[in-house]
Structure formats: structure tokens, C-alpha cells
Amino acid sequence: MANQLLSGKKGIIFGALDERSIAWKVALRAVEEGAEIVLSNAPVALRMGTIKELAAQCNNAPVIGADATSIPDLENLFNQATEHFGGKIDFVLHSIGMSPNVRKGFAYDGTNYDNFLKTLDISALSFHKVMQTAKKLDALNEWASVLALSYIAAQRTFPGYNDMGDAKALLESIARSFGYSYGFAKKVRVNTISQSPVPTTAGSGVAGFDGFYGYAEKMSPLGNASAADCANYCITLFSDLTRMVTMQNLFHDGGFSFTGVSEGVVERFNQ
């Protein structure tokens, strides 16, 4: 259902790899709500993924490659995007995460530190780099909304999530710290959404994902929030209806984060 909540707005969406990606659903919903978008992903993902199909469904949105850890790539992206739009940007979605330690099977207490630094750079510092580049180039309009996707492993330990838990803690901290300075400087707001598990490439790469997905479903009074639900929430945060919300980590998880235990989970132990 479209309400033209983003009519006239222009945004950059990072991280749509394939149709399971959360960013994929956000891109489609943003266009449905009247936004014009530019899609971006790492050059290697552009070669492997199916982002061109998404671009075609988004009124032929430009696809601009950028490794989100590279300042020159980000400068090029913001310059090209503002040129394409003929003006500044109103919203940015950072939907980026990757841990080489998870991928290569290094346990948290047997970590490879080069991998660990890459996890932090790709999954958290890149959020800072995106905003610092945008601010330096003065690429965002006042009241623009910048969002990143997080996970509750920032607050609580989830075995298998590994160094991504540390990356998410840093990501949420960057949202607070940059939200402060960008808010005072330009009235730009910065938030993270802490999302339920979703079976995407990044999500299902985490060890034990399937069991955990079922557990979270049973623990959450509303069940797991889907990628489509997440896209709807992102749209509200890009819209003017939430213009005084900033520096927050917003749980979007069907109530999982505030449930101690559920009857459904207890029943499993009584069997």
C-alpha cells in the first residue's frame, strides 16, 4: 500500500545483493512511496549479484559501485548521486555487513585480528565513512535521515554471531555520536534499526541460523519481523513523520528484545 510518504525525496540505498536482501525490499518500497533512488554495492557484489534487475524495477535507478570502506569510492558515489538527482540527498540506508572470521570459521576466542579489523571496517566504520563523506561534500539536505541496520547481539551475546556483535555495538555507538554532531550541524538525523533475524546471505551465514531463527520466532510475541516489515519501518524513518527521532537504536523484532522467556520456549523444555 503506497501513501507517497517519500514523494519528492531522493536517497541512496547500500547493500541490495539479491532479492532476499533487506535493502532490496527497502529500495522497492521507497520507490513505491514516491522516492527517487540510487543503488550502491561493493564492486564485487555488483558482478555477482542481480542488482540490475532491481534497478529496472526502480524506474531504472542508477547503480553506482562503491566499496563502503573506501573514501574515494564514497566521494565518487555522493558526487555522482547528487549530479544525477540535480540536488542533495534526503535519505541513506546503510545495509552492509560482513565478517571474514564468520565466513572462514574462526571462533571468537581464536580470532584472526586482520579479519576482525575488516569486520569492524566493513560493518561499522563504513557507516562513519559514509556520513563523514556526505558531510564533507555537504551532500545531504537538512532533516535528511540516515539509517543503518543492526542486531541485538550489540547488547547481548549470541554464540555464532562472533565479532559481528562487536561491530554492531560500534555501529550503534557511531549512530549516537555522529547523530549528535550531524544534528547540530545540519539537522540530519541518524538511527539504527535492530532487526529480527532474516534468512539472507549475511543472516544465514551465521552458524546455527536456522535453529536460532525458530527460537526467535517462538520468543517474540509478534513473531519475527520479516524483511518486508523492516522495509516498511525504514520508510517511516525516512519520512517526515519521524523527523525528531535521532541517535536511537530502534528495536524492530516483534518484541524479542524485551521478552525474558516465552511459554512456547518453556514448553519445549518440559517435553
Ligand X SMILES: NC(=O)c1ccc[n+]([C@@H]2O[C@H](COP(=O)([O-])OP(=O)(O)OC[C@H]3O[C@@H](n4cnc5c(N)ncnc54)[C@H](O)[C@@H]3O)[C@@H](O)[C@H]2O)c1
Which grid cell sits at 20? 532476499
| DSSP H or E stretch at residue 92 | strand 89-94
Quote the CA–CA distance of 96 and 127 in Å, as a whole number.
9
- How far is it, in rounded angstroms, from Cα 33 to Cα 1? 9
* Separation between Cα atoms, residue 137 and residue 155, nearest integer Å: 33
**Residues facing residue 252 across a β-bridge:** 195
> Considering the rule CB under 6 A, would residue 225 count as an interface residue with ligand X?
no
Q: Is 199 annotated as a binding residue?
A: yes
Listed ranges 77-85, 172-180, 195-203, 234-242: which one lies at the site for ligand X (CB under 6 A): 195-203
Among 6, 29, 37, 97, binds ligand X (CB under 6 A): 97
Q: Tell me: does residue 195 bind ligand X (CB under 6 A).
A: yes
What is the x/- site pattern for ligand X, positions 63-92, by CB under 6 A? ----xxx-----------------------
Query: Are the beta carbons of 154 and 169 closer than 8 angstroms?
Result: yes
- Minimum CB separation of residue 10 from ligand X in Å reads 20
List CB contacts of 80: < 8 A, sequence separation 6 or more.
Answer: 38, 62, 64
How many other C-beta atoms are found inside a 10 Å radius of the C-beta of residue 130?
26
Per-position x/- string for 44-63, each x denoting binding to ligand X as judged by CB under 6 A, each - no binding? -x------------------
Question: Among 37, 140, 149, 237, which residue interacts with ligand X (rule: CB under 6 A)?
Answer: 149
Tell me the closest approach of the beta carbon of residue 29 to ligand X, in angstroms.
Answer: 14
**Is-catalytic flag, 161?**
yes
Q: How far apart are CA 127 and CA 131, in angstroms?
A: 6
Q: Is 17 in the site for ligand X (CB under 6 A)?
A: yes
* Residue showing cell 511459554: 263
Nearer to ligand X, 63 or 141 (CB): 63
Distance, CA of 240 to CA of 221 (rounded, Å) = 29
Give the range of 2-10, 79-87, 95-103, 175-183 binding ligand X by CB under 6 A: 95-103
Among residues 108, 113, 161, 182, which one is catalytic?
A: 161
Nearest-angstrom CA–CA distance, 258 and 264: 16
Give the residue numbers of the binding site for NAD(+).
Answer: 15, 21-22, 96, 168, 198-202
Binding site for ligand X (CB under 6 A): 14-15, 17, 21-23, 41-42, 45, 67-69, 95-98, 122, 149-151, 195, 197-198, 200-203
User: Which residues are annotated as catalytic?
Assistant: 151, 161
